[in-house]
Amino acid sequence: MRKFLAAIAILSLSTFAFQAQAQFRASDICKMKRSQYERDQCLEYGLRGGMQRVKGNTQRLLDSSRVPESEKASILKSHKKWASKFESKCSDNECYYDMASDRNNEIEKIMAKYNIAPM
């Protein structure tokens, strides 16, 4: 009985931890800064770096001989869809930063699938 209760407790805690992690946004790091100026700088630098990673990682996928042409076409299609949403949905650096981070996560999953190192 104790093992069963322990297993349920572990399952409950791991579920809670997973949900808490899923709600973490890249921009949350910037919210911990002391002043508004530091928060704004953090968001701007995070956005710049995130966009460079999106561009660089996408290019690495498209240039790789490991990635099939059909996958490259799918990557380009999803990138155009993301770029359109990026432009229409966001109006501040926090949103842009979070969307760039989400796109990088998507791209890096594809990179891992084909054993390509991300930026």
pLDDT of residue 86 exceeding 90: no
Three-class secondary structure of residue 19 per DSSP:
helix
Residue spans per domain, the chain: 2-113
pLDDT above 90 covers what percent of the chain?
65
Query: Tens of pLDDT along 43-61?
Result: 999 999 999 999 999 999 9
Rounded to the nearest 10 degrees, the angle between the axes of helix 69-89 and helix 93-113 is: 170
Sequence-separated contacts (24+) of 15-22 with Cβ below 8 Å: none
